[in-house]
Amino acid sequence: MDKGPNSAKPAPEAGTPKPVKPVIDLVAEKAEILRRYRGLLRSIRGERTPEATRIIRKAFNIAVEAHKDQRRKTGEPYIYHPIAVARICAEEIGLGTTSVVAALLHDTVEDTDLTLDDVRDLFGPRVATIIDGLTKMSGIEFQTNSVQAENFRKVLLTLAEDVRVILIKLADRLHNMRTLDSMARDKQLKIASETTYLYAPLAHRLGLYNIKSELEDHALRFKEPVIHADISQKLKKGEAVRKRFISRFTLPIRASLDKEGFSYEIKGRPKSVHSIYSKMMNKHVSFEEVYDVFAIRIIMDTRQELEKADCWKVYSIVTDHYQPNPDRLRDWISLPKANGYESLHTTVMSPGGRWVEVQIRSKRMDEIAEMGLAAHYRYKAGDEQTSALDAWLNRIREVLEEPGTDALDFVHDFKLNLFSDEIAVFTPQGEMRNLPAGATALDLAFDIHTQIGRQCIGAKVNHKLVPLSQALKSGDQVEIITSRKQQPKEEWLRFVATAKARHRIKQSLRDQKKKLAVVGRESAMQHLRQIGAKTTTQNIAQLVEHFQAGTPVDFFYHVARGKYDLSKLTQAQVRNGRLVLPKRKVDPEERSLDEIVSEIRGENQGSLVLGDDLKKLDYQLSKCCNPIAGDDVFGFITEGEGIKIHRVNCPNAVQLMSNFAYRIVKARWKGKDTVEFLAGIRFSGIDDVGLVNKITTIISHEHNVNMRAISFESHDGIFEGKVMAYVHDTDHLNALIEKLKRVRGVRNVERVDQ
């Protein structure tokens, strides 16, 4: 960490020019720190007692003193960061005094001389517990898969004690993302990937939609700066037009609401840049074709017992004026999401022929939507949605407290609980169960009871037999059919969507493997005795190495399954009771992963250079994203397949950078003109005579491109085509795409990975 300007340094030698120090105005900095502190106090919601003010001031003074010699990468005093995190906690999440104190002190135990015992003595056990959780979580530097997962598990276990640990960590991550510009490009990509992989889904699951959207937007800004800037510019450019449209659209609605005597507020909210980008990618459309770039929100100021009825009255008023799309009605008032989100969403057709999303909710619902979990407990009073949130937290604790979970499996399983919209299904007795979207009858079976899941052989959905792999829909009534003879199968892992089901299946498979391994062990020992070999651990180790089995348990398991044939072992391979088996041939060029990493990175952490002249290192272009010269790429060191080159925006990049940062190497291109890369182009438009001929002529003749595959389909006057062609680099590909866009009848052209 950068230290302050007063750090002692040796005097420069005579004759050497003195380094130019930036001039720091300490008086101005002190005034700015106080100004920010006063802003923090103003941001705390509700009544603040003199005692609360005193304890916050005490925490502030200790944090200022502890961080006095530290500076951020930007050169600012480090104390700006804890103040900013505390303000996000108070202003944007709605947390109170304890959280503000913990946020001010969150880096002191890790980065300064202050200890956890000091914090406990000064501020009590609750603040100390929160800071302990935050200190553990800051250990998630994603150095190795196990370190990352184990630290993540530790901090989530504190969720059982105090959920504020997670909320403060999200505030910390949000401020880091807001100030990430000063970091190196590879650090930006790593932190942005972690954010997309874990923190944004976590914010979503806790109901912090604004924070989730901002985290995703910042991550996109660093991962795809050109795309982010383009969408932002288009949103800004259309802002005035949007405001006029919203004003005209809401005019008749306002008149009707006023006539009915409602107290309300109407907001026009543009969708986040990341949300628009996701729609463009998922639906293969341009920015102009994303119809719901913004949503209109109607917020009612009404009593809690009248909320539901008033929201439906407002829905009736909106649909009196504008025709709704029946497929786009979402009722999260009758059945709130598991994170407590309540709202009524409908999409209606405006007079200009444009679909508009309208969200209807009460003031209480809006605060819960904005503040998430923090607002929940303010309105606790035994609400159903609060118990749903508590049920989710309990499910998380179940996953956390299971012993023996593999580190990476744990993170993957936990993420299953983070994503996902929810569906509600019913048992034959009418009991309702919430499951993630995409869940199957097998998920429901494990959700009811582990034993029912293990013995599940089939299911009836709405009284009809269906495959266990069939995804359930909201409102389905599901009957589970069981058999005592059934045992979990490995293929089940492919179609379950809940962490609980995955974990229980893996646990059962491990138990089955251990039982088979006992049988395999007896068989192996018997064979060793037959050929005169001793049943020692050294001989077992010889067999494991000879068959390349990994572990003794794996070896015994495969013996029981018949994969390894021990009958080929003979007495000739036994000397004085010891096995003497030929060792696996080792390539003299073979090196450890650490050696490869060191060679590539060198002392100065330089980039891996990709091109024709790189003979000494084995690398290949990844098939999941087909990078071509000119793409922003990175190298991923595999254990057996050399280095794989991925595009930074590869679908797998987020997971690789988050879980295996220690295997990532920077990479750049060299000598791109002599190499050809396979790239895919998809295009669509209005069918026309001779169109196919025009397109193939441009591709093969005007741009000298060799095509590997081409396909066209035409339906009712609309054509769609795809070509896989060899190009030199991104400039070559972009020039080809631009030329195709100019063909009459072609409406949309885009690059595809496969």
Question: Which of the residues are catalytic?
Answer: 110-111
Q: DSSP string spanning 43-92? A: HS-S---HHHHHHHHHHHHHHHHHTTTEE-TTSSBTTHHHHHHHHIIIII
Write the Ramachandran bin of 284: left for phi over 0, alpha for psi from -120 to 50, otherwise beta.
Answer: left
Q: How many angstroms separate the most distant Cα atoms in the chain? A: 101
Write the Ramachandran bin of 687: left for phi over 0, alpha for psi from -120 to 50, otherwise beta.
Answer: beta
Tell me the sheet residues that pair with 165: none
Q: Round to whole Å and give the CA distance between 283 and 276.
A: 11
Q: Round to whole Å and give the CA distance between 712 and 285.
A: 19
Burial label for 432, CB within 10 Å (0-12, 13-18, 19+), is exposed
Collapsing DSSP states into helix, strand and coil, what is residue 623? coil
Q: Which two tokens stand for residue 593?
A: 């992963």
Q: Round to whole Å and give the CA distance between 722 and 738.
A: 15
Q: Residue 198 carries which DSSP code?
A: I
- Find the helix packing angle between 116-123 and 125-137, rounded to 10°: 150
Q: Which two tokens stand for residue 503?
A: 């974990």
Q: Round to whole Å and give the CA distance between 339 and 373.
A: 7
How far CA 118 is from CA of 122, 130, 259, in Å, comes to 6, 14, 61
Judge whether 476 and 506 are in contact, CB under 8 Å.
no
Q: What is the dihedral of CA 202, 208, 209, 215, to 10 degrees?
A: -60
The percent helix, strand, coil of the chain (3-state, each to 5) is 50, 15, 30
Give me the residue label for tokens 């293969």.
284
Q: Which of 292, 296, 297 is nearest to 354 (CA)?
A: 292
Write the Ramachandran bin of 346: left for phi over 0, alpha for psi from -120 to 50, otherwise beta.
Answer: beta
Q: Which of 128, 81, 90 is nearest to 109 (CA)?
A: 128
Q: Round to whole Å and give the CA distance between 267 and 250.
A: 10
What does DSSP say about strands 706-715 and 718-727: parallel, antiparallel, or unpaired?
antiparallel
Long-range Cβ pairs for the range 107-115 (8 Å, 24+) = 107/67, 107/78, 107/81, 107/82, 107/138, 108/62, 108/63, 108/66, 108/67, 109/135, 110/135, 110/138, 111/1, 111/66, 111/67, 111/70, 112/66, 112/67, 112/70, 113/66, 114/62, 114/66
Torsional sign, CA 598, 603, 609, 613: negative
The secondary structure element, H or E, covering residue 132 is: helix 125-137
Q: Round to whole Å and give the CA distance between 662 and 143.
A: 5
Q: Round to whole Å and give the CA distance between 242 and 210.
A: 21
